Structure 1
Amino acid sequence: MNASSAAAMALVFTWLGMVLAISFLEAPLKFRAPHVTIAIGLGIGRMVFRALNAVEAAFAVALVVLVVAGDLPGRAVAALIAAMALLLVQLVAVRPLLTRRSDAVLAGEDPPRSRAHYAYIALETAKVAALITAGALLAAG
């Protein structure tokens, strides 16, 4: 395994771990904690996901650099591109909808339920699959 593949694999599995820990563990659990109101949970969630998405974007940029500069397996590159595309859709198409709804809730409004959370979860699940695939392909060489 060359240095680019090793670095890419480290980034991919770190990214994967962060997504699993935050999206599939922290996010649903925070609303079950005692005394956490919807407003507090939304406020925390917005901060955590803003930070997660910033780190994800940084990882994606670093991975693009490794793809351009390194000799990564083609199928691993395809899986990385899929993960990055899914992140982009989340950031550009879904996060603004979630932000609008949480803004309304925090302002005391009662907006209609949104399917944007389901879209985000579906994209997050697909991104996890792409990251697992990319990591496995990088590990296999």
Structure 2
Amino acid sequence: MTVGHALATAATFLWLGMVLAISFIEAPLKFRAPGITIPLGLGIGRLVFRALNAVEVVWSIVLVVVVLLGDGWTRGAVIAGGVAIAALACQLIAVRPALTRRSDAALAAPDEISETRSRAHLWYVGLEAIKVVALVVAGASLLSA
């Protein structure tokens, strides 16, 4: 295994672990904690997801650089990595702005916000699920290369 291949494998699984831990464990549990109000949970969530997305961009750049260097990627890993990066781009460009507008409204007038999840939130979760599957496939493909 080359250094680039090892770096891509590590970045893929670190990215996967961060998404699983934050999106599918921390985010839903945060609102079940005693004393956490919707405005407080939204404020925490905005900070956490901004940080997660920044790190995800770093991992995606690492993967793109390693692919461009042509170091140990299988066709399946390239496609799966591309799907994960595309899902992240959709989240950042199309979904996050809508979520930000909704959380801005909730923070400005917490008593007027609906308790139901927005469609943007459902899109974000769906894209997270796609990203998880893509990262698992990319990581498995890298390990088998």
**Bin of the TM-score, shorter chain as denominator length:** over 0.9
SS of the equivalent of 1:70 reads coil
Please tell me whether the aligned partners of residues 86 and 127 of structure 1 are also in contact (alpha carbons under 8 angstroms).
yes
Percent identity between matched residues is 59
Moved more, 6-15 or 63-72: 63-72
1:121 is aligned to 125
CA distance in 1, matches of 2:97, 2:53: 13
Deviations 1:80-137 (Å, cap 9, x if unpaired)?
Answer: 0110000000000011111000000000152455211111111000000000000000
Q: Which amino acid aligns with 1:63?
A: L
Moved more, 50-59 or 110-119: 110-119
1:91 is aligned to 92
CA distance in 2, matches of 1:43, 1:20: 20
Give ranges in structure 2 of 5+ residues lacking alignment: none
TM (norm. structure 1) is 0.96
Count of residues in Structure 1 that have an aligned counterpart in Structure 2: 141
Moved more, 112-121 or 53-62: 112-121
Q: Does 1:140 align with 2:144?
A: yes
